[in-house]
Amino acid sequence: MTHVSRAGVVGAIEACGVVAVIRIQEPAKLRAVVDALAEGGVRALEVTMTVPRAIELIGEIAPTLPPEFLLGAGTVLDADTARAVILAGARFVVGPVFRPEVIETGHRYDVPVVPGCYTPTEILSAWEAGADIVKVFPATSLGPGFFKDVRGPLPQVKLMPTGGVTLDNAGDWIKAGAVAVGVGTALVDAKAVARDDYAAITANARRIVANVRIAREGQ
C-alpha cells in the first residue's frame, strides 16, 4: 500500500466531506458495509474500536481497498491503541476525546489524528497540539450555529461535527464552516445491516454526499 502523507489524507477527507463512522456489532458484515458505503461515494471510513476484533478487521480490509479509499480507526483513547491501528493499516485516527499522546503517536507515523473536543478552549488546545482536524463531539446539542461562532475567532481550525449529523442536515454543517461531517447511525443504519440491506446504505451514502456537494456549490 502506497503511503499517502498526513496532508494528503487530510486533503482527501476534506474533498469527500463525509467520514462514515462504523459501529456495527457483527464483524462478519464489515466488508459488505464498507463496499456499500464506497459504492455510494463515501471514501473515508472509520471503524471504531467498539466493533469486535476491530484492529484485526482493519488489518484484513486495509490492504484490499483501492488507494483512494481511506480506512481509519475511531474511538482511539491511548497511544498504544493508536500505534496498533496504524500498524494494522489505519490511514487516520479518530478519538472521542483529546489526548496529546495520541496525536504524537499518529504524527510519528505520518498519520493524521482527529481528536474529539467540545469547548472552544479544548478545540484550540487540540489544534495547537497538532490535531489535523478537530472533531466536535458530541455535536448533537451544539448545532451548526456553534461552528459559525467558533470559526469567527478561530478561522484557521478545521472542524468536523460528529453526533447530531443527519443525511438531511449535513449541508448545514458544511455551510457553517465544517470541512467534513462524521456520520454514524444515520448513514450505517443498524436495521439495514441486520437485514443485509446494503442497497439502503449505498442510497444513504449517495444522499449525504450529494447534500455536501450542493452545500459547497452554494457557498
Instruction: Give the per-residue pLDDT at 96.
Output: 97
In a domain, 147, yes or no: yes
Q: What residues are labeled active site?
A: 46, 135
Closest CA to 155 of 182, 124, 126: 124
In the chain, the percentage of residues whose pLDDT exceeds 70 is: 99
**pLDDT for res 1:** 52
Looking up residue 129, the CATH number of its domain turns out to be 3.20.20.70
Phi, psi at 65, each rounded to 5°: -85, 145
Residue 148, domain member (yes or no)? yes
Residue 194 within a domain: yes
Tell me, yes or no, whether 1 lies in a domain: no
In a domain, 152, yes or no: yes
- Tens digits of per-residue pLDDT, 154-189? 999 999 999 999 999 999 999 999 999 999 999 999
CA distance 57 to 74: 13
Residue range of the domain that includes 135: 6-217
> How many domains does the chain fold into?
1
Identify residue 131 by its one-letter amino acid code: A
What's the half-sphere exposure (Cβ side, CA atoms, 13 Å) at 31? 10
- Which of 89, 94, 76 minimizes the C-alpha distance to 20? 94
pLDDT of residue 218: 84
Q: What is the pLDDT of residues 77-129, one digit of tens each?
A: 999 999 999 999 999 999 999 999 999 999 999 999 999 999 999 999 999 99
CA distance 81 to 103: 12
